[in-house]
Amino acid sequence: MCVIAVFVLLATGLTVTAETHSLMYTYTAFSKSVGLPGFYTFTAMGLLDDIIIDYYDSKSQKKVPKQDCMNKSLPQPYWVEGTEARQAKQKWFKRNIKILMARMKQNSSDIHVLQWRHGCEAEKQPANSSLNFTRGIDMYSYDGKDFISFDATNKVWVASSVVAEQTKRKWDNEELIHHTISYLQNNCIEWLSAFVECRKKQLVQAAPPKVLMFAKNSKVKQNVVLTCLATGFLPKYIELKIKKEGRVLNGADRVVSTGPLPNGDDTFQRRDDIEIFRDDSATYTCEVSHSESNLHINSTWDKPEESGNLQVIGWVSGGLLMLAVLVLLVFLCKRRNCVFINIVFSRQQDSSEDVL
């Protein structure tokens, strides 16, 4: 039986120098019922910057919005046509799982899974706030392993196994390749731009992110771990810097960053840490900028009086006192073995006619 793995992703990169956005779609189909609550034979969802914006499953048989701006900004025909398109995709996946099972001579008593990850990433231009295409993704996996993916640079499909070679031969045709490139670089970016603007309207009345600077004991007795935490922000792009005497610290200084991580309310958090000597007398500051909420904070860490355990110093924005609870939640398949798919109105290709 296929083992389905869900991963908690911990990013370790430091401050990103450019604001990026992504629009991804994931379709997942099982060969038969998994027999577990919440698992359906077919599911599909759209994700804007890793936040679910629409959803469909084989039980409800209906595409629905998962964000207020999606519900208010898109007309009813969008959801009607979207439902019809995903019902067609459900049939396509069911048919192609059977094709792959037969091709691999697999037993129908086991559960098999076919997934598709599909979408685009773009970088925001400071001059006019437009989004420029940076990367497109179009890849399939079967039973948790890479099956076939699209190489936009060389304009070919890449088979990840001998079994996928037959699919590659069918899909390496000029028309399908042209439509795939056109969708990833044009249609997908157009919808990504529209959804980002839609979300901006939703953020007008949103509360600004909270910023917290604190220290805790290190495993090394003479050291402490200094932390700068920003939480409650959306979208996930944020600039966060730890400074020592005004100098920005980085990976060479042993700064470790989680990168953006999801909270339980569709917002994000980010935490940067650096280990320093307990008796370090230098001035450490935390600088946080979040353009979407017009937040810019420079906070200086006030070293507390020595005690058995270092305590949280306090919130530095909003004047609110809150308990800092850091919850690392599961990313919805932002990994190679998961699947993201095309938007309803892309007209990128009629996959119902393209068998594996």
Q: What is the pLDDT of residues 247-259, one digit of tens each?
A: 999 999 999 999 9
Average of per-residue pLDDT across 261-289 = 89
Residue with tokens 């450019």: 18
More reliable by pLDDT, 310 or 149: 149
More reliable by pLDDT, 314 or 217: 217
Phi first, then psi: what are they for 109, rounded to 5°? -75, -20
- Of 99-103, 267-271, 323-327, least confident by mean pLDDT is 323-327
More reliable by pLDDT, 335 or 259: 259
pLDDT > 70: percent of the chain: 79
* pLDDT recorded at residue 329: 30
Structural domains of the chain in order of their starting residue, each with its CATH number: 20-204+332-351 (3.30.500.10), 210-315 (2.60.40.10)
* pLDDT recorded at residue 349: 42
More reliable by pLDDT, 356 or 214: 214
Contact 229, 271 (CB under 8 A): yes
Average of per-residue pLDDT across 112-128 = 93
* pLDDT recorded at residue 205: 58
Mean pLDDT of the chain: 81
* pLDDT recorded at residue 307: 45
Going from the C-alpha of 199 to that of each of 49, 205, 288, the distances in angstroms are: 11, 11, 21
* pLDDT recorded at residue 354: 59
- Of 62-71, 146-155, 162-171, 270-279, least confident by mean pLDDT is 62-71
N residues, the chain: 356
Band (pLDDT 50/70/90 cuts) for residue 9 is very low
Average of per-residue pLDDT across 41-59 = 94
Average of per-residue pLDDT across 65-79 = 88
Band (pLDDT 50/70/90 cuts) for residue 306 is low
Q: Which tokens belong to 338? A: 């998961």
Number of helical H runs and strand E runs in the chain: 5, 18
Task: Give the predicted TM-score (pTM) of the model.
Answer: 0.64
* pLDDT recorded at residue 204: 61
Residue among 246, 313, 252 nearest 282 (CA): 246
* pLDDT recorded at residue 123: 94
User: In the predicted model, is pLDDT for residue 312 greater than 70?
Assistant: no
Gap between the Cα atoms of 126 and 31, Å rounded: 47
Average of per-residue pLDDT across 99-126 = 94
Instruction: Write the pLDDT tens digit of every residue in 172-181.
Output: 999 999 999 9
- Of 18-27, 200-209, 282-291, 303-312, least confident by mean pLDDT is 303-312
Band (pLDDT 50/70/90 cuts) for residue 315 is very low
Contact 167, 356 (CB under 8 A): yes
Contact 242, 274 (CB under 8 A): yes
